[in-house]
Structure 1
Amino acid sequence: MVGLWGQGGMGKTTLAKALYNVVFRQFEGSSFLANVRETSKGCRGLVTLQEILLKVILLPKQRLIVSNVDRGINLIQHRLGRKKVLLILDDVDDLRQVNALAGEGMWFGNGSRIIFTTRDKHLLTCYGIDEDHVYEVKALDADEAYELLSKHAFPTHQKLEIRTDLVDSILNHAKGLPLALEVLGSFLYGRREHVWESTINQLSRIPNKTINDVLKISYDGLEENKKEIFLHIACFFREWDSKYIKKVLDSCDFEATIGFEILIERSLISIERGLLQVHDLIQLMGMDIVNQECRNDPGRRSRLWLYDDILDVLSSVMGDCSVKAIVLKPSELKEICIGPNAFTKMKRLRLLILHNVYNSFQGRICLPNELRWFEWPGCASRILEFSSGPKKLIGLDMRESSITVVARQFKGFQNLKYINFSYCQSLTHLPDFSCTPNLENLHLQFCKNLVEVHDSIAYHDKLQVLNLLGCSKLCAFPKVLKSKNLRDLVIADCTIFERFPDIPHKLEGLKELSLRETAIKELPASIENLVSLESMNLGQCKSLESLPSSIYKLQNIKSLKVWDCTNLIEFPKYEDSANPCMETGLSNLHSLDLAGCNLSKVESLENLSCFPFLRKLYLTGNNITSLPTSINRRDHLSDLVIANCHQLQEIPKLPPSLNLIWAEGCKSLKNYGDLTSVRDFVHRGLTVADISALDQVRFSLSPL
């Protein structure tokens, strides 16, 4: 069993027909059942298909009457069970179709082949077809597309000169879709340049009906919720980050995770490098569906994305409005005039995103309480307000706005999950967030005048992400940290931040902690309560003088960065951790970066109970004179960087696992241990860049 899967108009049926014509003579019987989806809709749909299958393979003289589907199944199994059969089921969209016509694939004799064409990949996997036997029919490449267009657009019996830019415009519009190339090529067959120009201008606004009708079949087969998700993506979110849009759509009561999966399986969208992608013609089809809701009145449509349409609706005085979502993201700054009651008439409005837009109206704007996601970077916060009563807002993004202390504004926002106040230079203090019990993400990057974080943050049960990157005036932070679900905590580049809070109880949520370039002098011993921590960054903490020995109890940490901490003169000894039950310290640490510190020795490296699975060790620019001899028993070590350790005198025997050693600038180096000749390096799979000068030695893995 083989599946041909792809979006409408991609050439699945054409490919299946070509394959059928090549191989059908190798079988005792063969049948190409076309348009299974359409044919099966009738009252006797599946029965009709069963009769066709039996008739074609058994020949007309053996024609059998099929009274119902179950009778048809029995006849197919009985009459075809010993025959080597080629069966192609074209355009299937329901398991009932394949179950009635092919069963479990065991109805036919040895050597039989069943080929399906479908727009729904999930149907193939549900039927049990192995992933390796599902072939995705993709768009034509540039040369193939040009060849197909030329075949249909240019008469062979006469010379027709068409400007290259016009041909390129048609190719760009079709984006390799064979159906579009055939339809447009046939329409333009033998026509002059002015017709090509007119056609191109029209296609940019109104999709071709023949192409659109084929593409729309995939949309029509979706459930209502999935249709809404598709229309949002087609109208607004092409090439937006998929994870971000999932949060936006979920806030509007859509189940985006399963929605994305189904839309991908139906070939309506794809996710490439984390971005949502939609074929140009499918996007145009989605936009046309929305425009068809009311061609002449944008206020009667569910979604608005064009500047002129939005301006028209906002300036209208109509009593009722059908708009559910507005997303405006012009390429250059646009002026818009939003009156105080422009949104109050939009009772159905759930999503409002305005980028690169400024409001010329100076008064206050009232937002509807039904709004779920509000995003307007750079807006003047003083002009925004909601109606009285509970609000349903879940996402609030007011980056680069003039927001200040917002305590009263958060009352009634019980559902709020995501707040982004990054680059808000007027923000000096954070309000009490206990009135937003569902808050999960709080982004405050580069709020350069933020001085104080309210104590309520430290006790917030649902908070997962707190990002204070670049808050250079931050000095007041809660004295304890009890947010049990906190996953990512970033207090990096906060240059006067001095004290990290105590952690009185185990926090099993925190995985990422960054305190890079802060003024902290030490970490509390209670750091050991960050039991799930996987990464900690203390780079460029110039005031850091010591690390607590309790750091060895962080058994899940994989990466520890303490680079350029120039006042750190000693890494804590493992013996000082005083936990007899702990056999190893930092047992999952893979990368340890101590470059640019002031260490004269690293005794913990001598003890193989410390970080036994260490892979990467960075000691650049320290005052060490030697490396511990036990380093050759670190069987997982792959990278060792000891460049510019000016007092280092010898390199001991190194482990066979080592892939890279960088010792450039080690001016006092006298002894290479067992690395005494180029032959030794080659024997170990290592090469030497410059071994002639003792102050510049760099070894790196390279194929011999």
Structure 2
Amino acid sequence: MCLSGIWGMGGIGKTTLAEIVFHRLSSKFEACCFLRNVKENLDNQMDKINYKELAKKAVDYARGVPLALITLGSSLLTCKSKEEWEDELNKLKQFPDENIQRVLRLSNDRLGKNDKEIFLDIACFHKGKHVEYVKKMLGIRGFYAETGIKSLIDASLISIDSAQEIIEMHDLIQEMGCTIVHEQCIEDPSKRNSTLSTSLDLPNSLRYLYWYGYPLESLPSNFSPENLVELHMPYSRVKQLWKEDKRLVNLEVINLHYSSDLTEVPNLSGSPKIGHINLHGCENLVEIPSYFQHLDKLTYHDLGRCTSCLISLPNSLRYLHWDRYPLKSLPSNFSPENLVELHMPYSRVKHLWKEDMRLVNLKVIKLQYSSDLIEVPNLSRSKKIGHIYLRGCESLVEIPSYFQHLDKLTYLDLGSCKSLISLTNICKVKSLKELILSRSNIMDYAQLRIMQVATASSKSREKEDDEHDDYHEYYSYWPSFSIECPGKEIPNWFSYQSEESSVNIELRQDWFRTGLLGFALAVVVSCELNCQLKRMPVKKKKKKKYAIMILKPVSQ
């Protein structure tokens, strides 16, 4: 005897599939019997009534779950008019059909307590969210997220999108979960505590609190936050979170960004787990306490727009965000060895540090529009650096020579750096994929880059000639590049120029013996672009000119 099983959550079509297989194979047996628990079929009823629009609504409601379709068909069977159908469908949206719910609850009823709670949390809060974020939130709630999510997947109650790694749940399954929560709240309102708080009566069991725009100057004095893991109160009106010190032993994240009335950071000296602090836009904050430098787990700190506070930074920092930093340099007692990203746009710094620092883990540095910056910090040891933003650093005079050895540097923004004297060191950075320069610098860079690539091409050719004495093979691929920028003139260092559609260049008959490396070409082109003005449907043609320079090697 051979047995085959069909696995899946209740209602997805296991019985339907089994029936198809039965009809295909039953003729091969002397006796056969198919046991089913459904007598009506929705499709047959819809054929009889022929209400196409209503049928479409019914199918949309069932979301393609076969047993839900059949059960829904049973409830619509007694409807004798179009109006009754509409009433029935509207009623189902507000009061889900018990038969459908009963079918869908089969998989949920088999779950253990931990998995049931996780299912209800996902149904109410986490559908469509990234799986790692959901695991984190479930962990804060005290659940065993890893095993629970696996159990829900095995029960076909959820799935995980493999590309985006977000949790997916069928609409009818989510509806079932919300119904269960509603029933629990009627029976015992204390059974399910929401992670979102909307009243001042805060339970001391809270692990996660999010309150956008909190309206008062402090949190309730009778709220004990010992269990808090994450506290998010952006755009709040708080001046002090508490009027007296509280035990925050479990706190890992505190986010008070744009709480512009905040004058004092809560006492976090007893928060050994704190790893993420966001105080961006807390403009009235006077001081960052000295104990911050001893918060060994603190890796992310955002103090953007905090322009009036004294600072003390922990050496454990990996991400420092502080736009409009008000001082001329960072504290000398701050060791940035662990820094991965440093964001300090619009700062007042002249030198990031007064002496060289070990920036061995730095990958991104953003100092754009720090107009007083006169030199780039020493990044010669920063072998991981990939992105450097220096746009608008108008006092910056030169780019250090060690830039050519930054093998991971792929992005460099030097736009509006008006004081740059030389671009020679930039030309030697081989790893660059994107370089942004001001117009005056682009022309200088283009000339330098053309000579560099041409010279490299010549050396490569000489090497190939030496290696192929008996048989010379010319390789078709040679280094070449192009530069495009807004403009309407050909640089004056191009010897042959013409306003016509062609230009004639006279070459000596022995030109191939003169060391000619290639041709540098420049052309001004005008593009007609269709654009809309003031959101009017009338299209107007706009001309835009570009100067394009291209280097092409000589082919012999």
What's the TM-score, normalizing by structure 1?
Answer: 0.57
Task: Establish whether residue 566 from structure 1 lines up as the match of residue 418 from structure 2.
Answer: yes
Q: For residues 136-147 of structure 1, what are the structure 2 equivalents within 5 Å?
A: none
Query: For the residues of structure 1 that align with 2:166 and 2:437, how far apart are their CA atoms?
Result: 36
Query: For the residues of structure 2 that align with 1:232 and 1:538, how far apart are their CA atoms?
Result: 45
Aligned residue number for residue 231 of structure 1: 120
Aligned residue number for residue 258 of structure 2: 400
Task: Establish whether residue 212 from structure 1 lines up as the match of residue 214 from structure 2.
Answer: no
Task: Establish whether residue 477 from structure 1 lines up as the match of residue 335 from structure 2.
Answer: no
Aligned residue number for residue 361 of structure 2: 509
Q: For residues 156-555 of structure 1, what are the structure 2 equivalents within 5 Å?
A: 156=48, 170-191=58-79, 199=88, 203-204=92-93, 207-220=96-109, 226-240=115-129, 244-252=133-141, 263=152, 266=156, 268-271=158-161, 276-298=167-189, 300-304=190-194, 326-327=195-196, 337-338=199-200, 342-343=201-202, 346-355=203-212, 358=215, 364=221, 366-382=223-239, 384-385=241-242, 388-402=246-260, 404-407=262-265, 409-432=267-290, 433-445=292-304, 447=305, 449-452=306-309, 454-457=311-314, 459=315, 461=316, 463-469=317-323, 471=324, 477-479=330-332, 482-492=335-345, 494-501=346-353, 504=356, 506-524=358-376, 526-555=378-407
Query: For the residues of structure 1 that align with 2:343 and 2:490, how far apart are their CA atoms?
Result: 35
Letter in 2 for 1:401: S
Aligned pair partner of 1:151 in 35, 39, 43: 43
Aligned residue number for residue 644 of structure 1: 487
What number of residue pairs does the alignment pair up? 486
Relative to structure 2, which stretch is displaced further, 234-243 or 254-263? 254-263
Query: For the residues of structure 1 that align with 2:193 and 2:429, how far apart are their CA atoms?
Result: 53
CA drift of 1:251 comes to 4.3
Letter in 2 for 1:561: D
Mark the CA change 1:161 to 1:587 in structure 2 (over 3 Å): closer, same or farther.
closer
The one-character-per-residue Cα deviations of 1:218-244 (angstroms, maximum 9, x if unpaired) are 445656555444432221233445555
Letter in 1 for 2:158: L
Partner of 1:381, secondary structure, is: coil
Query: For the residues of structure 2 that align with 1:453 and 1:481, how far apart are their CA atoms?
Result: 13
Partner of 1:327, secondary structure, is: coil
* Unaligned runs of at least 5 residues, structure 2: 458-476, 507-523, 529-542, 551-556
The one-character-per-residue Cα deviations of 1:5-26 (angstroms, maximum 9, x if unpaired) are 865423354245435645788x
Partner of 2:435, secondary structure, is: strand
The answer as to whether partners of 1:539 and 1:563 remain within 8 angstroms in 2 is: yes
The answer as to whether partners of 1:234 and 1:287 remain within 8 angstroms in 2 is: yes
Aligned residue number for residue 119 of structure 1: none
Query: For the residues of structure 1 that align with 2:84 and 2:336, how far apart are their CA atoms?
Result: 66
The answer as to whether partners of 1:337 and 1:360 remain within 8 angstroms in 2 is: no
The one-character-per-residue Cα deviations of 1:6-47 (angstroms, maximum 9, x if unpaired) are 65423354245435645788x999999999xxxxxxxxxxxx
Query: For the residues of structure 1 that align with 2:140 and 2:424, how far apart are their CA atoms?
Result: 47
Query: For the residues of structure 1 that align with 2:298 and 2:225, how far apart are their CA atoms?
Result: 20
CA drift of 1:260 comes to 5.6
Query: For the residues of structure 1 that align with 2:18 and 2:455, how far apart are their CA atoms?
Result: 62
The answer as to whether partners of 1:475 and 1:496 remain within 8 angstroms in 2 is: yes
CA drift of 1:370 comes to 0.8
Percent sequence identity over aligned pairs: 23
Query: For the residues of structure 2 that align with 1:31 and 1:699, how far apart are their CA atoms?
Result: 81
Aligned residue number for residue 479 of structure 2: 634
Query: For the residues of structure 2 that align with 1:160 and 1:695, how far apart are their CA atoms?
Result: 62
Query: For the residues of structure 2 that align with 1:509 and 1:290, how far apart are their CA atoms?
Result: 47
What's the TM-score, normalizing by structure 2?
Answer: 0.69
The one-character-per-residue Cα deviations of 1:423-477 (angstroms, maximum 9, x if unpaired) are 33333543332353222322344x3x434562324x1x2x3322234x4756663
Aligned pair partner of 1:588 in 431, 434, 444: 431
CA drift of 1:268 comes to 0.8
CA drift of 1:373 comes to 1.9
Partner of 1:510, secondary structure, is: coil
CA drift of 1:369 comes to 0.7
Aligned residue number for residue 321 of structure 1: none
Partner of 1:547, secondary structure, is: coil
Mark the CA change 1:489 to 1:348 in structure 2 (over 3 Å): closer, same or farther.
same
CA drift of 1:515 comes to 1.7
Aligned residue number for residue 627 of structure 1: none
Partner of 1:303, secondary structure, is: coil
The answer as to whether partners of 1:374 and 1:396 remain within 8 angstroms in 2 is: yes
Letter in 2 for 1:442: H
Query: For the residues of structure 2 that align with 1:291 and 1:190, how far apart are their CA atoms?
Result: 29
Aligned residue number for residue 50 of structure 1: none
The answer as to whether partners of 1:452 and 1:474 remain within 8 angstroms in 2 is: no
The answer as to whether partners of 1:369 and 1:387 remain within 8 angstroms in 2 is: no
The answer as to whether partners of 1:270 and 1:277 remain within 8 angstroms in 2 is: yes
Query: For the residues of structure 2 that align with 1:349 and 1:384, how far apart are their CA atoms?
Result: 16
Query: For the residues of structure 2 that align with 1:611 and 1:523, how far apart are their CA atoms?
Result: 30
Letter in 2 for 1:189: L
Aligned residue number for residue 42 of structure 1: none
Please provide the CA RMSD for this pair.
5.0
The answer as to whether partners of 1:558 and 1:588 remain within 8 angstroms in 2 is: yes
* Unaligned runs of at least 5 residues, structure 1: 36-147, 305-325, 329-335, 576-584, 613-631, 653-665, 675-687
Mark the CA change 1:248 to 1:401 in structure 2 (over 3 Å): closer, same or farther.
farther
The answer as to whether partners of 2:153 and 2:159 remain within 8 angstroms in 1 is: yes
Query: For the residues of structure 2 that align with 1:404 and 1:288, how far apart are their CA atoms?
Result: 41
Query: For the residues of structure 2 that align with 1:486 and 1:596, how far apart are their CA atoms?
Result: 33
Q: For residues 33-72 of structure 1, what are the structure 2 equivalents within 5 Å?
A: none
Mark the CA change 1:608 to 1:240 in structure 2 (over 3 Å): closer, same or farther.
same
Query: For the residues of structure 2 that align with 1:668 and 1:431, how far apart are their CA atoms?
Result: 70
The answer as to whether partners of 1:242 and 1:276 remain within 8 angstroms in 2 is: yes
Relative to structure 2, which stretch is displaced further, 602-611 or 386-395? 602-611
Letter in 1 for 2:270: G
